[in-house]
Amino acid sequence: MHKSLVMLPAVAMQLLLACAAPGAAAQTVAHSGAYAGQQVRSIKSLSDQDIDDLLAGRGAGLAKAAELNGYPGPAHVLELKEPLQLSEAQFQATQALMAQHRAAAQSLGEEAVAAERSLDRAFASHTADEDSVRTLAAKVARIQGELRAEHLKTHLAQTALLTPDQIQRYAQLRGYAEADVIPAQDHHHH
């Protein structure tokens, strides 16, 4: 796209820029309002849905790296227990994993909300400075990292409870690709 612009004579280029300028200015004004309304949030960086998800221990996409690469998660495995033909032992182990995971994720979710609230309060009270912001932001990031690891390792544990055929079936039932989402150790089945 940019190559064709380079070919334009200088005069045409100036005209193009002159025409684009008012639009660019208008865009800036429009963009500055992108957060409008969010100033009333209790924690500015989190929506009510974000807070609900964190406090309920929901993943909200944190396990995509696992889920979309062929590592099932317990919530969906439990939903699909009939078509996956889970044995009683698999069902019980999956329920136990889900309960244990939910408790850990909720606990970390509470920490994440508290850390975001601290960061928000530093700015709300105008006490934020470079050092406090660095410390608070690092705390938020550390908890987010632990939370993401919790969701991902739960998919590892769940995958270990299933047979390669069940993993394959799960991928199909969830609407993912056919054979290319099977974890590496199962590739010899192809």
The residue written with tokens 């919790």 in the block is 150
Give pLDDT, residue 180: 52
Q: In this structure, is residue 12 part of a structural domain?
A: no
Q: In this structure, is residue 154 part of a structural domain?
A: yes
Which of 29-38, 83-92, 93-102, 176-185 is the least confident region? 176-185
Give pLDDT, residue 114: 95
Which domain range does residue 74 map to? 44-177
Q: In this structure, is residue 117 part of a structural domain?
A: yes
pLDDT exceeds 50 at position 166: yes
Q: Which CATH number belongs to the domain containing residue 107 in this structure?
A: 1.20.120
Q: In this structure, is residue 97 part of a structural domain?
A: yes
Q: In this structure, is residue 138 part of a structural domain?
A: yes
Q: In this structure, is residue 182 part of a structural domain?
A: no
Of residues 3 and 145, more confidence is placed in 145
Report the percentage of the chain scoring pLDDT > 70: 74
- Total number of domains in the chain: 1
Q: In this structure, is residue 190 part of a structural domain?
A: no
pLDDT tens profile 109-141 = 999 999 999 999 999 999 999 999 999 999 999
